[in-house]
Amino acid sequence: MVLSLRRGLQWLRLLILFGVLACMFFYSLRLFTDWITPVDHYRIPEGHAIKVFGGQTVNEGSEQRIGVLERLRFFYWYGE
């Protein structure tokens, strides 16, 4: 069996080129997915913003608590 050094180096060059191109493709897709990923709606609010869905929500005019079903109804009613 004859092993050619030139043919082996060509395969090695092809393998290295494939690896480099695959890494470039992977990192370009990673940058694209970071750009297209939606905003995290569950992050901690900043500035004067407050988080609405807390443990206990109280109406400003009364001391009545809003139940989970009522919140779900409002959610579907306003379409958010």
pLDDT in tens, 6-56: 999 999 999 999 999 999 999 999 988 878 877 777 777 777 776 666 555
Q: Distance of CA 62 to CAs 2, 4, 46, 55, 74, Å?
A: 91, 88, 28, 17, 18
When comparing pLDDT for 65 and 21, which is higher? Answer: 21
Neighbours of 71 (CB within 10 A): 13
Stated pTM of the model: 0.45
Only one residue has tokens 């004859």, namely 2
pLDDT at residue 72, rounded to an integer: 82
pLDDT at residue 28, rounded to an integer: 94
